[in-house]
């Protein structure tokens, strides 16, 4: 039995395809799937990475879709139908914040890996704006969508060999720093792009996970979930390409700059605020958080390899400010990720232990 944890964010500019193109849909095929216990919520929203935050909070069954010779995975075995290889996807985020905030990196969750190359493949993580457009036809129906586009606003990367998909407390989660922070303006939607094209080149594969509760309307934020379709040279909505499996993707969550969305600031991020002080620190950390509505709440701290080093569940709390002290004197020096988790989403910031 494993628990799945992950997190992350993304954004950028413009891109357009004017000609209508007919795209092919693919039936998702599963090989070597295994059942894992993770979490599921009562409600989900488009900026919530297809509901994966909630899968970290409430128990349900989730399937890990791994290698062998098939299955819907990113990489060479993602070769679905007539030689089409789908190895890049993007998760858009609906930004309802009324104040600016900074994004410094991302959490990424992947499942099983099958590494054929000696050194493992490199996954590129890119932030783009939701400023592109894409036009295509699927099943005789024309679609004109808004999608990720323009120049990269931020980039980061990780080697698939660095992802621990075995140890239960890591569960395939890894933190990625961007080369430079990105300032998100009020109301600016954005997307995080997961580009596994290098894995295709090297014949490596990356597993994904899916809920056993199926795909119901928009509950997994599928309006803002995209796959790059090579024949289109642009993005299409995930569920226009892949049937029976809108949940089958890695999870992505933003890491928010420490200077933004602190307790008593003007705005909230997904209904939450988080302050870490002092930071850096070597002994006692004061962690303060606020929620703008009644919700279930918990606090988690991870190392950058995805291992849980601290967790406290506060149950159902009313809207307001809360504070706790945490003894981190036994933590090894380095970077950690602190999360406040609620029914509304997940707010993550970096903690430096010196």
Average pLDDT, the chain: 75
Q: Is the distance from CB of 213 to CB of 40 less than 8 angstroms?
A: yes
Specify the DSSP class assigned to residue 161: G
The residue to which tokens 């993707």 are assigned? 249
Q: How confident is residue 112, by pLDDT bands cut at 50, 70 and 90? A: low
* Per-residue pLDDT tens digits for 261-292: 999 998 888 889 999 999 999 999 999 999 99
CA–chain centroid gap for 77, Å, is 22
Nearest to 154 by CA among 196, 110, 106, 122: 106
SS3 per-residue string spanning 50-78: HHHHHHCCCEEEEEEECCCCCCCCEEHHH
Greater confidence, 276 or 346?
276
Greater confidence, 73 or 15?
73
Q: How confident is residue 107, by pLDDT bands cut at 50, 70 and 90? A: confident
Res 16: pLDDT: 31
User: In the chain, what are the domains?
Assistant: 14-255 (no CATH), 258-353 (2.60.40.2550)
Specify the DSSP class assigned to residue 85: B
Q: Find the mean pLDDT for residues 108-123.
A: 74
* Per-residue pLDDT tens digits for 41-83: 333 343 444 445 544 444 444 445 444 444 445 666 555 555 6
Res 217: pLDDT: 40
* Per-residue pLDDT tens digits for 189-233: 999 998 988 887 887 776 655 444 444 443 445 678 888 888 889
Q: 2-11, 135-144, 266-275, 277-286: lowest mean pLDDT where? A: 2-11
Task: Count Cβ neighbours within 10 Å for each residue of 220-237 and write b for 16 or more, e otherwise.
Answer: bbbbbbbbbbeebebbbb
How far is residue 29 from each of residues 7, 158, 204, measured CA to CA in Å? 26, 27, 18
In whole angstroms, what is the distance from residue 4 CA to residue 37 CA? 8
Res 94: pLDDT: 79
């Amino acid at each position: 039995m494993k628990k799945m944890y992950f997190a992350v964010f993304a954004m950028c500019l413009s891109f357009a395809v004017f000609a209508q193109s007919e795209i092919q849909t693919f039936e998702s095929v599963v090989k070597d799937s295994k059942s894992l216990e993770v979490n599921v919520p009562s409600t989900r929203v488009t900026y919530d990475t297809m509901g994966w935050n909630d899968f970290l909070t409430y128990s349900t069954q989730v399937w890990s879709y791994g290698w062998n010779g098939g299955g819907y995975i990113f990489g060479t075995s993602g070769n679905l139908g007539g030689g089409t290889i789908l190895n890049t996807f993007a998760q858009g985020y609906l930004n309802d914040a009324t104040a600016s905030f900074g994004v410094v990196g991302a959490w990424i969750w992947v499942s099983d890996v099958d590494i054929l190359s000696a050194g493992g493949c490199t996954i590129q993580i890119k932030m783009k704006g939701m400023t592109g457009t894409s036009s295509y036809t699927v099943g005789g129906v024309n679609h004109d969508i808004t999608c990720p586009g323009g120049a990269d606003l931020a980039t980061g990367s990780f080697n698939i060999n660095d992802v621990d998909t075995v140890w239960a407390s890591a569960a395939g989660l890894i933190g990625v720093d961007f080369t430079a922070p990105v300032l998100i303006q009020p109301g600016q939607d954005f997307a995080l792009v997961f580009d596994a094209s290098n894995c295709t080149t090297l014949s490596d594969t990356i597993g994904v996970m899916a809920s056993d509760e199926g795909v119901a309307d928009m509950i997994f934020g599928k309006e803002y979930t995209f796959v790059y379709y090579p024949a289109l040279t642009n993005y299409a909505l995930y569920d226009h390409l892949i049937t029976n499996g809108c949940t089958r993707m890695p999870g992505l969550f933003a890491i928010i700059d420490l200077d933004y969305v602190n307790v008593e600031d003007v705005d909230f991020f997904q209904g939450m605020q988080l302050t870490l002080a002092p930071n850096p620190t070597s002994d006692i950390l004061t962690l303060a958080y606020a929620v703008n509505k009644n919700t279930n709440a918990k606090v988690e701290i991870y190392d950058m390899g995805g291992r849980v080093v601290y967790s406290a569940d506060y149950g159902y709390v009313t809207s307001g400010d809360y504070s706790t002290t945490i003894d981190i004197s036994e933590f090894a020096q380095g970077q950690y990720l602190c999360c406040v988790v609620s029914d509304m989403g997940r707010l993550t910031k970096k903690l430096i232990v010196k």
